[in-house]
């Protein structure tokens, strides 16, 4: 599949507006003694970096701190097994392997941590404002409306010696053009008018920010309050203060206002008569104001 901007006869990798990542330069900048990242690999195409890295972790082929990046994913996944696809070199598609030495009950903060780190890095490096939709979406404004810029997926796995580990996947639309959008609600840095679209500095910024927030979080033993993570997430949230619908296990729904993210990373919804309920296993949909009474349906 060639881009409409390719010259006649050009192949899928020849779009001059989408140069390849420089793996050697990225390794030189990010893989350092004593740092979080221990190995960095860039592959041209794969089904899913998360699936690949989870398999390597389980077989002992990948150590903590491994970063796997794909120029193209053909079977990328999001929460609830939603598909994530984009043209070659049009975004950042990566997974990292982590073994947090924090209580298991606090691992639910990992996707939120990645959201905070990625939003902060991209906002600085690309020059556009990024906000967070609980629990794992990155939003950007395109033509006056919020669009999904990217998503985060955290999956639990184990190393061969039984050590609990997490594969944290990040997908981010960078140069996606309007005719390439998978759905009308998707966006990209290009469509948001970002002055910075070079993926190399974007990737460096994301991984450095992720390492910094991960260090703060683990040094606080996973306590999101002590590590400043809860405050940072709240400040960047596009969900808090809005009416939402949470789809709950068993087909139930909870309608109300999103009022907080609690110490376990759960979204707190004020429903009927102001009763507050924390939600973790839910799919959140933003609603317009006044779309229905609060309460459980």
What confidence tens digit (pLDDT) does each residue in 34-51 have? 999 999 999 999 999 999
Question: How far is the C-alpha of 22 from the C-alpha of 51, rounded, in Å?
Answer: 23
Q: Distances from the Cα of 148 to the Cαs of 172, 183, 184, 249, in angstroms?
A: 9, 10, 10, 24
What does the mean pLDDT of the chain come to? Answer: 88
Instruction: Please tell me the predicted confidence (pLDDT) of residue 12.
Output: 52
Compute φ and ψ for 223, nearest 5 degrees.
Answer: -80, 110
**What pLDDT band is residue 296 in, cutting at 50, 70 and 90?**
very low
Give CATH 2.30.30.100 domain extents, the chain: 240-296
Instruction: Please tell me the predicted confidence (pLDDT) of residue 248.
Output: 75
Question: How far is the C-alpha of 279 from the C-alpha of 125, rounded, in Å?
Answer: 33
Instruction: Please tell me the predicted confidence (pLDDT) of residue 287.
Output: 37
CATH of 240-296, one of 2.30.30.100, 3.90.470.20, 3.50.50.60, 2.60.40.10: 2.30.30.100
For the segment 231-242, what is each residue's pLDDT rounded down to a tens digit? 999 999 999 999
Q: Distances from the Cα of 77 to the Cαs of 80, 90, 273, in angstroms?
A: 8, 17, 38
Question: How far is the C-alpha of 150 from the C-alpha of 139, rounded, in Å?
Answer: 7
For the segment 96-139, what is each residue's pLDDT rounded down to a tens digit? 999 999 999 999 999 999 999 999 999 999 999 999 999 889 99
More confident residue, 13 or 88: 88
Q: Is 80 exceeded by the pLDDT of residue 75? A: no
The CATH homologous superfamily for domain 23-235 is: Bira Bifunctional Protein; Domain 2 (3.30.930.10)
Instruction: Please tell me the predicted confidence (pLDDT) of residue 29.
Output: 98
More confident residue, 293 or 284: 284
**What pLDDT band is residue 297 in, cutting at 50, 70 and 90?**
very low
User: Can you name the residues that pair with 168 across neighbouring β-strands?
Assistant: 96, 154
Instruction: Please tell me the predicted confidence (pLDDT) of residue 84.
Output: 58
Tokens of 9: 């006869």
On the CB side of 257, CA atoms within 13 Å amount to: 10
Instruction: Please tell me the predicted confidence (pLDDT) of residue 284.
Output: 56
For the segment 187-219, what is each residue's pLDDT rounded down to a tens digit? 999 999 999 899 999 999 999 999 999 999 999
Phi-psi region of 57 (alpha: psi -120 to 50; beta: other; left: phi over 0): alpha
**What pLDDT band is residue 272 in, cutting at 50, 70 and 90?**
confident
Q: Averaged over 168-184, what is the pLDDT? A: 95
Report the percent of the chain where pLDDT is more than 90.
75
Instruction: Please tell me the predicted confidence (pLDDT) of residue 1.
Output: 34
**What pLDDT band is residue 14 in, cutting at 50, 70 and 90?**
low
More confident residue, 221 or 14: 221
Give CATH 3.30.930.10 domain extents, the chain: 23-235
């Amino acid at each position: 599949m060639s881009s409409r901007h390719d010259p006649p006869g050009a192949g899928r990798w020849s779009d001059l507006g989408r140069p390849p990542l420089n793996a050697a330069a990225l390794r030189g900048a990010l893989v350092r003694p004593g740092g979080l990242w221990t190995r960095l690999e860039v592959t041209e195409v794969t089904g899913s970096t998360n699936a690949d890295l989870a398999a390597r972790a389980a077989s002992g082929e990948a150590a903590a701190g491994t970063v796997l990046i794909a120029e193209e994913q053909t079977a990328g996944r999001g929460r609830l097994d939603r598909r994530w696809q984009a043209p070659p070199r049009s975004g950042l598609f990566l997974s990292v392997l982590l073994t947090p030495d924090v209580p298991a009950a606090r691992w639910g903060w990992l996707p939120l941590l990645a959201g905070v780190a990625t939003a902060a890095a991209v906002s600085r490096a690309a020059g556009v404002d990024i906000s967070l939709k609980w629990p794992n979406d990155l939003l950007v404004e395109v033509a006056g409306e919020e669009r999904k810029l990217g998503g985060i997926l955290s999956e639990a796995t184990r190393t061969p010696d039984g050590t609990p580990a997490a594969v944290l996947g990040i997908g981010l639309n960078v140069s996606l053009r309007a005719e390439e959008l998978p759905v009308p609600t998707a966006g990209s840095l290009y469509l948001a008018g970002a002055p910075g679209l070079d993926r190399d500095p974007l990737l460096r910024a994301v991984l450095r920010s992720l390492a910094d927030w991960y260090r703060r979080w683990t040094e606080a033993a996973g306590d999101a309050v002590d590590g400043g993570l809860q405050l940072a997430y709240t400040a960047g949230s596009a969900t808090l203060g809005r009416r939402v619908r949470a789809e709950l296990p068993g087909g139930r729904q909870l309608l109300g206002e999103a009022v907080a993210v609690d110490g376990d990373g759960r979204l707190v919804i004020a429903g009927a008569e102001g009763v507050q309920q924390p939600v973790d296993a839910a799919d959140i949909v933003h609603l317009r104001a006044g779309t229905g009474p609060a309460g459980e349906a």
